[in-house]
Structures are given as structure tokens and as C-alpha cells.
Amino acid sequence: MDFDLSREQMDIKKAAREFAEKEFPKIARECEEKEEVPRDLLKKGAELGFVGVFIPEAYGGAGLGFLEHALILEEFWRMDPGLGQQFCSLTFGSEELILFGTEEQKEKYLPRLTSGDALMGFAITEPDAGSDAASASTRAELIGESWVLNGNKVMIGNGSLADFILIFCLTDPDNPAKSHRHSVILVETNTPGYEADKILGKMGIRAADTANIFLSDVKVPKENLIGERGKGFYQLMAFFDRSRAYVSAHGVGLAQGALDLAIKHVKSRVQFGQKLAAFQVTQFKIAEMATKVELARTLTYRVCSMLDRGQVDSKLVAMAKWNAGRTAVEVVDEALQLHGGYGYMNDHDIERFYRAAKVLEIYEGTKEVEKIVIARRILGRF
Amino acid sequence: MDVVVCLRRVPFTQEVDLEIDKGQRQILAENLAFVLNDWDNYALEEAISLKERTKGTVTAITVGTEEDEEVLRRALAMGADTAIRIDSEGLTLDPRNIARLLARVIRGLRFHLILTGAQSDDLNEGCVGAMLAEELGLPHASVVNKIELGEDVLEIKVELEGGIEEISTIKLPCLLTIQTGINEPRYVSVMGIRKAAKKELKVVTIEELSLDKEALVPDVYVERLFYPPETGGAEILEGDPHIVAEKILRILRERGVIS
Ligand SMILES: Cc1cc2nc3c(=O)[nH]c(=O)nc-3n(C[C@H](O)[C@H](O)[C@H](O)COP(=O)(O)OP(=O)(O)OC[C@H]3O[C@@H](n4cnc5c(N)ncnc54)[C@H](O)[C@@H]3O)c2cc1C
């Protein structure tokens, strides 16, 4: 069993780190405070190839895998979770196009993402359909040659910035099987009837755009259906099997970044006549945090690498996502604790990391949902 | 213009507590991260931008171990065309021997210009560039912070003491050692890394250079590394900021720093 990254993977990780280390600190706090998305930085990152590396070369990507995508996101989240989130969101949902899209759809939409000229999003969540995505009631009716969409989506990444958004919607409400009622439809956001309301006041990752979406008689061509009609739920599960794998890298990166900040602090702060690092209790904390980060990283890399080798294991992916989210929350909590009162003030970065962590146990499947997936694969249905 | 650029991988020592190893001749490298020497990164960017402006080539060279190839892969990813590693084969090399090894390889290359960093971040000796120029019998200038292209010459700028700037003309072929800040080094891109994998990275052994390993004994070597003894003499001013400020002013006046 080989646990080593290839030279190319190490070089990509280093390149991502160097870019994030030089570019992110200049603007991270300001973007968080002003809840602003730095479009210039996104464009610069895209030009360097850091956006959507898993997209095939034929469609403007690097033709690499989810592992490389995860390595980049880990380094970005390590420097700043908000900017890391915004970078990840740029291609969020493109897996649907890669896996299920037609040649025309791929050619039309994917290259604009990797060049940094377009942003996308994937709208699943609704006021009455969160963890229970199959209850989504946003309706799409086929009228003549067009789909007509009506409904509300909430908490959608890039809702107010995206050029196009994938909508998880109800196309076949009368199908007796709940899992055969939905489809995925692409909506260009300049279509009349599309409205987005940017959410202000998120607890963390405020440099990333999140919005509520209102669709009223949004009319798009019939060809905007992605994949098969009525198979939306299965396509969504296939998406989660991939996105959860690299979202695990968000947790690894955030936890590593928090650990880095904690190490720096305990090696400089003196109390009772010695550095905090000299107390054995501090040493134990650092040892525990570092071990947790390494464990989360190992499982994250494993599931990403498996996906890149064509192995899809929903259970293992859910384990990686749950564990990485938990690791981030636990490690950042201890890291802030080691900062004492200074960590509670927003002129210390750890405060921003702390606020960011919690979302990792909520989006892309709450930690409870991940455990449902894991247990169902182990115990079966009864 | 064909440019040869010499690179070195060094430990990243900023914000790191350095430790001396038991033998007292080396810094403990175990926990250190390694990067391309900062000065060399500027030299590399300068080489690549000269190549782009003149449609030439860039060859990157390092003397080192397989791990040091990382800096060559970086150079290839940034835009160098070929890379050569002279295998250091576990030898401790002083600047003169590094210059001798580099010279052996560079003599066989087509080049108009050789660039090195002004110094390396680990030992700060700043010798290899000048020694390499001597070995090759080339004109050279050190700590260059601007290069303009001329007809068979380069116009170069160097900053002297006291902020005085000096502009000189140097005949090609020549060697320049590069100061940080001369340009803004580009980032390594994912596309660059992918292209680098297809470019040539050649490894040359000392034997292939017809040099005798025995003859590469350093003329200068470290006897002992140690921390300077703690000395007294520091006066810690304490108390109310007003009073501390007054004390500082008094001391500065007494010592003639301000009048
Ligand atoms: C910053 C941010 C960005 C987001 N971006 C997107 C996006 O781009 N696109 C998108 O579609 N959505 C997005 N979301 C929404 C996110 O996916 C949902 O918040 C998440 O799926 C949970 O749904 P909910 O909020 O409705 O919570 P609920 O489903 O109401 O859950 C509330 C609690 O009940 C628990 N619970 C629910 N069902 C069960 C059960 N069966 N058994 C046990 N416990 C259960 C949950 O685990 C949770 O603890 C985003 C959310 C945030 C915060």
C-alpha cells in the first residue's frame, strides 16, 4: 500500500500553498468583514489552474483528479476558510455535467469555469427540504420545448454571483417512488424570473457568497436537463459521493491552519515564567490535535484517491466527511483555547477559523446524515 | 538569448527556532521545510522573462541530491526548458567546489548569460557567482537589480552604499548575480507543473565530469557551530509609558543619536 503523494501532486500542493500564503493574508480579514467576494483573486487563481483541476482537459481543465482538487482546497482552507470555500464553490456541481451532461453541455459550460470567466452553483436545499432532499418541491414543468421552473431555494453557494446554477427540482411528482420524481436542470441566472437575495450575517466563511433563490416562471430550453429525467435523486447521490470527498479536505485544511496558529502562539506566549509550549498539558494538546489532523488527512486522501481510480464507496466517503468536519471543530476549539482571551478577538486569525468550522458539520450532509449513510451501509435496512 | 540559471534549495528559516545538531557542525534539518533560495527565485524569473522577450532558452542547474530536484522541477514549471542536476554524491561542498562543478557542465552548454542569486539564504557567503565567473573566464557583476538588453551588451544597475545607484555596461557573454526585488517572480501554475513532467531533467555524476571526488575536499569547512554566549548590557525600561519615553529620549541624547 502506497501512502505517498506523487511528485506532481506534491508540487501542486506546494504551488497552491505558495499562492495562498502570498495572496490570502492581504485580503482575508477584509473580505470576511465586508462579506465580499474577491473576483480578481478568483480570476488569478483560475489563470494559475487552481480551479476545477478535476475537469477533463478537453473541457479546459487539467484532467487531474479529486485528490489534486482536494490538495489545492486543503492548502487554501489552511490559509483562509472563507476564500477556500469561495474557490471550491466556483465549480461546485460541475460533477453533474461531467458525469451526466451531454457533449454540447460540457463544451458550452465547463471551459468558462476553469478560465475563471464564469461561476456556477448547485441549488438543492429548500425551506422544507434540507437533509430530506427528496422532499424538494421546486417544480419544473415541461411546456412545449421549455422547462418552466417555480419555487424557492435557500442557502445556495454563489446564488447571487453565479452565471448558471443547477436546480434540483420536481419534474415527476406523480411517480410512486419518491426517488424517481426529481431532475437536475441548468438555469442561466440572467433568465427572467430568477431572483437571488444574498445572505448577510453568516457565522463564518463570509468571503464566500451564499444566497436565497426565488424562481418564478423561469423558462429554459428543454435541452437544459442534465442527465435523465426522473433520475435527479440518483445523480445527486453520485454528486455527494464525490463532493463530500473533497469537502473533507476543507476540514483537514482548516484544522491544519488552526494547529499552525496554535503552535505559533504557544511557542511565543509566556506565562508563569515559561512558554506555554513548555507545559506538558500544552504538549499533549498539540500532540492530540496533530494526530487528529493526520488521521483526517489520511482518510480524505484515501477516498479521493479511490474515486480517481474509479472506486466509489459512499460509506467511506461519508466517514471521511464526518470525521474531517468533527476534526476541524475539535481542533479549532482547542487551538482557540490555547490563545486564551486573544483568540476571542478578531485581530487574531483563529477567531475567524473558529467561526468557519461549524459549517463543515452542516453542509454537504449534516454529521447525522453522514452517520445515517454509514450505518445503512453497515446494517442494511430493516 | 540563451540563459543558464544556477539554483539552490535551502532550508526555510524564517520564524523557525534553529537547533544545532550533536556534532556541532550543522543545523538540525529534520523539522525544516525546504524551498528555492529566495535570490535564486528572482534570478529564475529574470532568466525566464529574458527568454520570453528574446525567444531564447533557459537551462536551470543545481548541485545537489535527488531531493534538491524539487527546485529544478519548479524552474521547469515556471518556464525553463531543460534542467540539470549535478549529483553531489553526499559530499560537503564549499563555494569553490560548487563553482568548479557548475563550470564543468556550463562549458558544454550554449549560453549568452549566466544568472545566479546574489547569495544563499542558508550560508550567506555570496561566493559561488563570482567564483563561477572566474572559472569560466567571464566578466561578471554582483547584486544586480536591473537588466536592460543592448546590442551584444547588457546595461545593468547596482545599488551601492548610501542609496547611490550605479549603471554599467557589461559585454556578453557574462555572469550576473541577482538581487531580490529585481522583478516580481511568477507563481507556479498547475499547467506549468504538468508541462514540466514532459521536459528533460538530466542528472550528471562527478565521475562523468572527469573530476576526482578526492579532489573536491573543501578548503573551508565548519569547525564548530554554537550559540553566542548570553551577554549583559541590555537595560530594560519599565513603568509608565510617559516616563519610559522620556528615559529613551534621554539615552538617545546622551549617546549622541539625537541632539
Ligand atoms: C454556508 C452554507 C452554504 C450552503 N451551500 C449550499 C449550496 O450551495 N447548495 C445547497 O443546496 N445547499 C447549501 N447549503 C444548505 C445545507 O446543505 C443544509 O443546511 C443542510 O443540508 C441541512 O439542511 P437544513 O439546514 O434544512 O437542516 P435540517 O435538515 O432541518 O436539519 C436540522 C437538524 O436535524 C438533523 N436531522 C435531519 N434529519 C434527520 C434524520 N433523518 N435523522 C437524524 N437527524 C436528522 C440534522 O442532522 C440537523 O442536525 C448550505 C448551507 C450553509 C450553512
CB burial of residue B218 (10 Å; 0-12, 13-18, 19+): middle
Which residues, in sequence order, are CB contacts of A137 under 8 Å at separation 6+?
A126, A128, A129, A151, A170
Mean per-residue pLDDT, A123-132: 98
CA–centroid distance for A3 within its chain: 24
- In chain A, count H helices and then E strands: 11, 10
Has residue A252 got a pLDDT over 80?
A: yes
ipTM (interface predicted TM): 0.93
AA letter at A108: K
Whether residue B24 is contained in a domain is answered as: yes
Mean per-residue pLDDT, A322-337: 98
Give the closest residue to A152 by CA, choosing from A184, A173, A124.
A124
Cα–Cα distance between B34 and B62 in angstroms, integer? 14
Q: Which residues pair with A188 in a beta bridge?
A: A164
Question: If you average pLDDT over every residue of chain B, what do you get?
Answer: 94
**DSSP calls for B108-129:** TS--SEEEEESS-TTT----HH
* Confidence at residue A381, expressed as pLDDT on a 0 to 100 scale: 82
* Confidence at residue A326, expressed as pLDDT on a 0 to 100 scale: 98
pLDDT in tens, A171-208: 999 999 999 999 999 999 999 999 999 999 999 999 99
pLDDT band at B251 (very low <50, low <70, confident <90, very high): very high
Instruction: State the number of CA atoms in the 13 A half-sphere of B117 facing the CB.
Output: 26
pLDDT band at A353 (very low <50, low <70, confident <90, very high): very high
Beta B140-149 vs B34-36: how paired, if at all?
A: unpaired
**A48 closest CB neighbour out of B17, B189, B196:** B189
Cα–Cα distance between B61 and B175 in angstroms, integer? 14
Contact assignment for B17 to A14 by CB distance below 8 Å: no
Whether residue B63 is contained in a domain is answered as: yes
* Confidence at residue B163, expressed as pLDDT on a 0 to 100 scale: 87
Query: Running DSSP on this structure, what letter comes out for residue B138?
Result: -
**DSSP calls for A208-276:** S-EEEEEEEEEEEEGGGEES-TT-HHHHHHHHHHHHHHHHHHHHHHHHHHHHHHHHHHHTT-EETTEEG
Cα–Cα distance between A98 and A110 in angstroms, integer? 8
User: Residue A357 to residues A85, A204, A250, A253, A321: CA-CA distances in angstroms?
Assistant: 11, 8, 9, 10, 13
* Confidence at residue B238, expressed as pLDDT on a 0 to 100 scale: 83
Has residue A265 got a pLDDT over 90?
A: yes
Has residue A132 got a pLDDT over 90?
A: yes
Query: Running DSSP on this structure, what letter comes out for residue A124?
Result: -
Query: Running DSSP on this structure, what letter comes out for residue A86?
Result: H
Has residue B233 got a pLDDT over 80?
A: no
Cα–Cα distance between B174 and B179 in angstroms, integer? 16
Partners of B19 on chain A (C-beta within 8 Å) are: none
Cα–Cα distance between B192 and A256 in angstroms, integer? 27
Contact assignment for A62 to B187 by CB distance below 8 Å: no
Which residues, in sequence order, are CB contacts of B20 under 8 Å at separation 6+?
B26, B27, B28, B225, B226, B227
Give phi and psi for B220, each to the nearest 5: -125, 130
pLDDT band at B29 (very low <50, low <70, confident <90, very high): confident
Mean per-residue pLDDT, A250-260: 98
pLDDT in tens, B121-175: 888 889 999 999 999 999 999 999 999 999 999 999 999 988 899 999 999 999 9
Cα–Cα distance between B240 and B238 in angstroms, integer? 7
Give the closest residue to A15 by CA, choosing from B189, B257, B203.
B189
Whether residue B244 is contained in a domain is answered as: no
CB burial of residue B63 (10 Å; 0-12, 13-18, 19+): buried
* Confidence at residue B13, expressed as pLDDT on a 0 to 100 scale: 84
Whether residue B18 is contained in a domain is answered as: yes
Has residue A253 got a pLDDT over 90?
A: yes
Query: Running DSSP on this structure, what letter comes out for residue B228?
Result: P
Residue % of chain B over a pLDDT of 90: 76
Hey, is the C-beta of A18 within 8 angstroms of any chain B C-beta?
yes
Strands (E), A78-163: 120-123, 139-143, 146-157
pLDDT band at B214 (very low <50, low <70, confident <90, very high): confident
Q: Which residue would you say has higher pLDDT here, B212 or A103? A: A103
* Confidence at residue A62, expressed as pLDDT on a 0 to 100 scale: 95
Atom number of ligand 1 nearest to Cα A208: 1
**Residue matched to cell numbers 554582483:** B142
* Confidence at residue A323, expressed as pLDDT on a 0 to 100 scale: 98
Mean per-residue pLDDT, A242-268: 98
Cell of A335: 487551538
Hey, is the C-beta of A261 within 8 angstroms of any chain B C-beta?
no
* Confidence at residue B237, expressed as pLDDT on a 0 to 100 scale: 87
Whether residue B237 is contained in a domain is answered as: no
* Confidence at residue B124, expressed as pLDDT on a 0 to 100 scale: 86
Whether residue B242 is contained in a domain is answered as: no
Cα–Cα distance between A55 and A201 in angstroms, integer? 33
Q: Which domain holds residue B166?
A: 2-216
* Confidence at residue B234, expressed as pLDDT on a 0 to 100 scale: 80
Query: Running DSSP on this structure, what letter comes out for residue B230?
Result: P
Contact assignment for B194 to A62 by CB distance below 8 Å: yes
Mean per-residue pLDDT, B12-24: 86
* Confidence at residue A260, expressed as pLDDT on a 0 to 100 scale: 97
Whether residue B247 is contained in a domain is answered as: no
CATH for B179: 3.40.50.620
Q: Which conformational region is residue B84 in: left (phi greater than 0), alpha (psi within -120 to 50 degrees), or beta?
A: beta
Cα–Cα distance between A334 and B106 in angstroms, integer? 54
Query: Running DSSP on this structure, what letter comes out for residue B39?
Result: H
Question: Which domains are present in chain A?
Answer: 7-114 (1.10.540.10), 120-230 (2.40.110.10), 234-379 (1.20.140.10)
Contact assignment for B197 to A8 by CB distance below 8 Å: yes
CB A217 within 8 A of CB A243: no
pLDDT band at B16 (very low <50, low <70, confident <90, very high): confident
Mean per-residue pLDDT, A14-37: 97
pLDDT band at B14 (very low <50, low <70, confident <90, very high): confident
Partners of B191 on chain A (C-beta within 8 Å) are: 49, 62
Among A6, A8, A11, A44, most B C-beta atoms within 10 A, so best to mutate, is: A11
Contact assignment for B190 to A53 by CB distance below 8 Å: yes
Partners of B15 on chain A (C-beta within 8 Å) are: 264
Whether residue B233 is contained in a domain is answered as: no
Has residue B218 got a pLDDT over 80?
A: yes
**Residue matched to cell numbers 563553482:** B99
Dihedral over alpha carbons A144, A150, A154, A158 (to 10 degrees): 40
Question: If you average pLDDT over every residue of chain A, what do you get?
Answer: 97
Has residue A82 got a pLDDT over 80?
A: yes
* Confidence at residue B26, expressed as pLDDT on a 0 to 100 scale: 87
Neighbours of B149 (CB within 10 A): 12
- Please give the tally of structural domains in chain B: 1
**A15 closest CB neighbour out of B15, B193, B197:** B193
Has residue A307 got a pLDDT over 80?
A: yes
* Confidence at residue B219, expressed as pLDDT on a 0 to 100 scale: 86
**A49 closest CB neighbour out of B73, B74, B190:** B190
User: B residues 168-197 near A, CB within 8 Å?
Assistant: 187-194, 196-197
* Confidence at residue B232, expressed as pLDDT on a 0 to 100 scale: 78
* Confidence at residue A60, expressed as pLDDT on a 0 to 100 scale: 94
Has residue B236 got a pLDDT over 90?
A: no
Strands (E), A6-116: none
pLDDT band at A1 (very low <50, low <70, confident <90, very high): confident
CB A35 within 8 A of CB A160: no
How many inter-chain contacts (A to B, CB under 8 Å) are there?
42
